[in-house]
Amino acid sequence: MSKVTVVGAGKYGSTTAQRIAEWDIVDEVVMTDIVEGLPQGLALDMNQSRPVVGYRTKVIGTNDYADTAGSDVVVITAGLPRKPGMSRMDLLGVNAGIVKAVTEEIVRYSPDAVIIVVTNPLDQMTTLAAEVSGFPKNRVLGQAGMLDSARFAHFISETADVDILDVTAVTLGSHGETMVPVPSMCSVGDKPLSDVLDADTIDELVDRTRNGGAEIVAFLKTGSAYYAPSAAAAAMVRAVVEDSGAEMPVCAWMEGQYGIEDVYLGVMAKIGANGVEQVIEADLTDEEVAGLREAAVAVAAKVADLEQIDL
């Protein structure tokens, strides 16, 4: 029996659970949250959509980790958004406490699971989940690059007025400032991106992608994006449960690729039953490799902040 758990039944978690359930690729999707009744109510609602949408996957809502036992994949979305007056370090402390506690429960009930982290700040939370779990690093990965690449693809398709499904866009590195666009891996149909858009326009779209989350938050006022984020996380889950070997940009542990090691970083990787089956060292330009190395240094500095927190 295949089973996926999503921890956190907020916007991101519940949409991720819904997408996985609707694909009908696992027997059970378990949603858990600290708020009593929330996952149960959402699960009941989703299960009632099954005859209409046409899928068999059962969604289970629970506040008890015992129900998550034996999961093949666990997605961690639990966490708080940054509230007014909260510093970056405050948020780091709160979410680190949550991710640590959640990871301990995952290890207890699903010792063979692949863990996919989406809680922000992503690089630190992925590193923390890996450390707390003690799992082999390939079985703990984070979602960031799939989302940024999807946003970039959307902007390219709108600006160049081309079919979204003809666009291949790749971003690596980290989120925000240290996101590394990879024009050499971007294309529209069989044309390189540089044949379709000029360099200045590409730069503008890269900037818009870097700020993609903030642009949506500015519209929503409260809460953050979840449709594209959940699509990205669910696609990673799918690659694991189907052991597909799909190649996607994920936050993976580096072991010397591009001369970078001992840090989680957004790179292309082959995803299968064991999580990251292989980090793919793509044929990047010198500038792109330099961007990745800079991002690795920035992530390592942010991870060092974790040591100041009393967990």
**Residue numbers of the site for ligand APR (CB under 6 A)?**
7-13, 33-35, 77-79, 81, 98, 101-102, 118-120, 223-224, 226, 229
| Choice among 151, 175, 210, 302 that is catalytic | 175
Question: Is the preceding peptide bond at 39 cis, omega within 30 degrees of 0?
Answer: no
Nearer to ligand APR, 70 or 97 (CB): 97
Q: Residue 188 Cβ, how far from ligand APR at the closest point, in Å?
A: 29
Nearer to ligand APR, 147 or 186 (CB): 147
- Which amino acid does the sequence have at 92? L
User: Quick check: is 175 catalytic?
Assistant: yes
Is residue 83 packed enough to be buried (19+ CB in 10 Å), middle (13-18) or exposed (0-12)?
A: exposed
Q: How far is the CB of 68 from ligand APR (least distance, A)?
A: 11
Catalytic residues: 175
